[in-house]
Amino acid sequence: MNAAMDTYLIVHATAAATALLIGAFLILAVAERSLGFANIFGKLLAFWLALIAFAAVAGAVTAPQFGGKPFGLDLPFYQAPAQPVAPPAESSPQLPPSFTPGPWGG
């Protein structure tokens, strides 16, 4: 994976994280004015959105260390670019090992 692909992944994850954090802030602002269950649920939802935002950025930043995969996971919605494969080295053909009986005659 080249540096340009890493940069695009990080930029997109940061943009998504920014949108999630703005949404979390708005939910938290509304939850502060609420009473009872809505207050607690709003705070938990805002915390959850912030956690997802930070995880997205962390996955994008660490992707180059794991072969271009966020957190090294094979995610169904993310296709890492194919890595170039080295051609096989030419070697002499190997013969199968010959059978030699052991000390027990086997």
Residue 6 has pLDDT above 90, yes or no: no
- Contact status, residue 68 vs residue 81, Cβ threshold 8 Å: yes
Which amino acid, residue 94?
Q
Say what the pTM is.
0.60
State residue 41's pLDDT score. 93
State residue 80's pLDDT score. 56
Mean pLDDT, rounded, for 41-45: 94
Mean pLDDT, rounded, for 23-41: 93
Mean pLDDT, rounded, for 80-104: 65
State residue 60's pLDDT score. 83
Residue 78 has pLDDT above 60, yes or no: no
d(CA 24, CA 30): 10
Residue ranges per domain, the chain?
3-65
